[in-house]
């Protein structure tokens, strides 16, 4: 197996379980490079002012957040430094919930949680308790430089840590054109299936 992405521990109450995180997904990416038709050399991107059309050197570029159409707040390196979450080496469990209380759209990226030798007993106890109760642990974790809400659950003999999206990151479905389903008094759908 590959090297761990993250080393630290699962922590809740007085319990501390040393663990490593490994990526659990295998993304197959197909990246394309833009090429110049004449000599098949890579094409770069030019930084230019969208109003004047003139090229802008790197030392004249700022970072800004558009909070209204054509209105920006400028962010400095100091702003980014202060906003950066403090990296910790713990997966802090804050709650336990039934898995069905987590909407499927909230699940984002899975990681395998593997114990080191010192944490095997605590790891097995947590895994089996979650399995027996049908619950998942809700936790906070910093991976690289971003803080995530995460769910820890037993899956195929291992603990799986799945980062979660926040509710405001999910687009509402109310604007989609979805046909209504009418239920009859017996609870069956009023939509008849077509034979093929």
For the chain, how many residues are written?
Answer: 196
How many domains are there within the chain?
1
Q: In this predicted structure, what is the pLDDT of residue 130?
A: 97
Looking at the domain assignment, is residue 133 inside a domain? yes
| Structural domain boundaries enclosing 163 | 6-25+85-169
CA 103 to chain centre: 14
Looking at the domain assignment, is residue 109 inside a domain? yes
Query: To the nearest whole number, what is the mean pLDDT of the chain?
Result: 86
Looking at the domain assignment, is residue 177 inside a domain? no
What is the spatial distance between Cα 139 and Cα 135, in angstroms, rounded to a whole number?
Answer: 13
Looking at the domain assignment, is residue 193 inside a domain? no
Main-chain dihedrals φ then ψ at residue 5, nearest 5 degrees: -80, -30
Residue 152 pLDDT exceeds 80: yes
Residue 113 pLDDT exceeds 90: yes
- Is the whole-model pTM more than 0.85? no
- Are 93 and 16 in contact, with CB atoms under 8 Å apart? no
Please compute the mean of the pLDDT values over residues 131-152 and round it to a whole number.
93
Q: Please list the residues that pair with 113 across neighbouring strands.
A: 21, 159
- Are 93 and 127 in contact, with CB atoms under 8 Å apart? no
Residue 24 pLDDT exceeds 80: yes
Looking at the domain assignment, is residue 65 inside a domain? no
Main-chain dihedrals φ then ψ at residue 122, nearest 5 degrees: -65, -40
Complete DSSP assignment for 14-31: TEEEEEEEEE--------
Looking at the domain assignment, is residue 107 inside a domain? yes
The band of 96, judged by pLDDT with boundaries at 50, 70 and 90, is very high
Q: In this predicted structure, what is the pLDDT of residue 195?
A: 45
Looking at the domain assignment, is residue 120 inside a domain? yes
Looking at the domain assignment, is residue 104 inside a domain? yes
Please compute the mean of the pLDDT values over residues 40-48 and round it to a whole number.
86
CATH number, domain of 147, equals 2.40.290.10
Please compute the mean of the pLDDT values over residues 134-162 and round it to a whole number.
94
């Amino acid at each position: 197996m590959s090297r761990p992405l993250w080393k630290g521990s699962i922590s809740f109450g007085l319990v501390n379980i040393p663990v490593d995180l490994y990526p659990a997904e295998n993304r197959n990416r197909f990246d394309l490079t833009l090429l110049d038709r004449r000599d098949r050399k890579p094409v770069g991107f030019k930084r230019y002012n969208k109003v004047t059309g003139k090229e802008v050197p790197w030392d004249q570029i700022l970072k800004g957040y558009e909070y209204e159409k054509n209105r920006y707040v400028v962010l400095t390196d100091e702003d980014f430094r202060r906003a950066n979450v403090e990296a910790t080496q713990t997966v802090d469990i804050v709650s336990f919930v039934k898995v069905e209380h987590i909407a499927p759209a909230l699940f984002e990226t899975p990681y395998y949680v593997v114990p080191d030798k010192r944490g095997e007993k605590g790891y097995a106890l947590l895994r089996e308790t979650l399995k027996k109760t049908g619950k998942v642990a809700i936790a906070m974790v910093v991976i690289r430089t971003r803080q995530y809400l995460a769910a820890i659950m037993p899956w195929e003999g291992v603990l799986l840590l799945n980062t979660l999206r926040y509710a405001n990151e999910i687009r509402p479905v109310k604007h989609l054109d979805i046909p209504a389903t009418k239920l009859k008094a017996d609870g069956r759908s009023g939509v008849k299936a077509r034979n093929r």
